[in-house]
Amino acid sequence: MRIVLGVSGGIAAYKSALLLRLLTEAGHDVRVVPTRASLEFVGLATWEALSGHPVSTEVFEDVPHVPHVSLGKSADLVVVAPATADLLSRAATGRADDLLTATLLTARCPVLVAPAMHTEMWEHPATVANVRTLRERGVHVLEPASGRLTGADTGPGRMPDPEVVAAAALALVEPAEPSPAQDLAGMPVVVSAGGPREPLDPVRYLGNRSSGRQGYALARAARARGARVTLVTANVALPVPEGVEALPVETTEQLRDAVRAAAKDADVVVMAAAVADFRPASSATSKIKKSGGDPLVLRLGQNPDILAELAAERLRPGQVVVGFAAETGDDGASVLEHGRAKALRKRADLLVVNAVGAGRGFGTADNDITILDRDAEVVATASGSKDVVADRVWDAVLAHL
């Protein structure tokens, strides 16, 4: 499919590099059309390298091929992300003063825009009117996410997560998939996601690279299949899936308390969070300062093994407990061998083993997993987007039930 990805001049332009990667790795031919202002944030070389096509902002470049007409006419889908207040204004009034707005005027395919701006700009009557105008003309305008904006500001105005934008855009042109079976209808489930942070002092912490994407995908998939989902989320900067109850926590102890409380009423508990094995033995009440050239020595203590506790206690009769094992191979054993040993120790009903590190697992859009039972036997494997992996995990849970 031929996709035009428009990028306007906001700080969220950096997110569109991942959006571009998601679209190209899905097999689509993507031409990037940035505005001149957007190049203050992400340069031409990045877009050309990731798309495999030359990139221009100007109407009067490559004139023989008439790009300001041909790009829009030949596209199967146009996505603008981020879409600033200025871009929305120019699109709503039919301006054609650069290659992107000219392309929008000539496009006869579905168009989706993902706004990103400060809250005051998003809520201004002019922007509200421009969004209304675009929607009346058939443009699909995503609602921005809420959260941290540029500087210290927070509120609605964040560009939605790239996976959210990609899914919404492709849903406009790809055949709709059948509604998921409601095979978890009414079932109470708990999912943990993200990575706890263990404070060293008021400004520093020990943590890991977990983004929470896989846990959020699990919560989203369970909700789509009819479950009543409680999501215990540790330091995750993603929008909470619709219809999911979120319980934010920071440390491992807080995660343990929240999961155990929610698990008392749950038929299934999925521990997808990357729980910290260790925490500082003590946390300083003020910032730790340098002391000459002496090295800083940290004493660590072990955190509770939440998964093993849940598997041993079963806080509800018949409860199914699912764990995750993020592993790296070493000289002693492979990822799967480490996972098998952990499955035998933890005694969870299912253990999802995935390799992490060097661009794998943590923070990526996809995953590659092996699911083991409590006897360390392989019951399923899956690879692909984290949404695909999430559905395979729930399939394994249902098979176990």
Catalytic positions, written as ranges? 208
Phi, psi of 185 (to 5 degrees): -55, 125
- 148-149-150 Cα angle (round to 5): 130
Pairing of strands 145-148, 228-234: unpaired
According to DSSP, residue 28 is labeled -
| Total number of residues shown for the chain | 401
Ramachandran region, residue 347 (left: φ > 0; alpha: ψ -120 to 50; beta: rest): left
In the block, residue with structure tokens 């675009």: 134
Q: What sign results for the dihedral spanned by CA atoms 271, 199, 12, 362?
A: negative
Separation between Cα atoms, residue 306 and residue 300, nearest integer Å = 18
Give 313's contacts (C-beta < 8 A, 6+ positions apart). Answer: none
Structure-token pair, residue 391: 């559905």
Separation between Cα atoms, residue 237 and residue 149, nearest integer Å = 12
Phi, psi of 287 (to 5 degrees): -60, 130
The answer to whether 91 and 132 have CB atoms below 8 angstroms apart is no
Count other Cβ atoms within 10 Å, centred on residue 55: 21
| HEC string for 226-285 | CCEEEEEEECCCCCCCCCCEEEEECCHHHHHHHHHHHHCCCCEEEECCCCCCEEECCCCC
Separation between Cα atoms, residue 38 and residue 49, nearest integer Å = 16
- 91-95-97 Cα angle (round to 5): 115
The answer to whether 100 and 35 have CB atoms below 8 angstroms apart is yes
